[in-house]
């Protein structure tokens, strides 16, 4: 980061002396709106998005409930 000052009060990294390159780029790109997310999304302490998909229960295309067969 060529001489840019990082605001350490924003808690952007697990290590206060090291800022990941993608986090520094995002801070520069987003400016004052850094780390603000819409409801339902999470952001880790480094400012990276944590969006986890929920995998539905697999099913077999057969009539009836297979859970009863167990």
Per residue of the chain (70 residues), what is the pLDDT tens digit?
Answer: 445 554 545 567 677 788 888 888 888 888 877 766 555 567 777 777 777 665 667 776 766 665 665 5
Phi and psi at 61, nearest 5°, equal -75, 70
- Whether 3 is in a domain gets the answer no
* Domain count within the chain: 1
Cα torsion through 31, 19, 44, 57, rounded to 10: 110
**Structural domain boundaries, residue 44:** 8-69
Helix locations, the chain, DSSP H: 21-30, 66-69
The predicted structure's pLDDT at residue 2:
47
The predicted structure's pLDDT at residue 67:
63
- Cα 46 from chain centre: 9
- Whether 1 is in a domain gets the answer no
Q: Using a cut of 0.75, tell me whether the model's pTM lies above it.
A: no
The predicted structure's pLDDT at residue 8:
46
């Amino acid at each position: 980061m060529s001489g840019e000052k990082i605001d350490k009060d924003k808690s952007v990294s697990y290590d206060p002396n090291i800022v990941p390159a993608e986090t520094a780029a995002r801070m520069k790109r987003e400016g004052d709106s850094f780390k603000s997310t819409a409801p339902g999304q999470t952001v880790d302490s480094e400012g990276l998005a944590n969006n986890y998909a929920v995998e539905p229960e697999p099913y077999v295309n057969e009539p009836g409930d297979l859970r009863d067969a167990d």
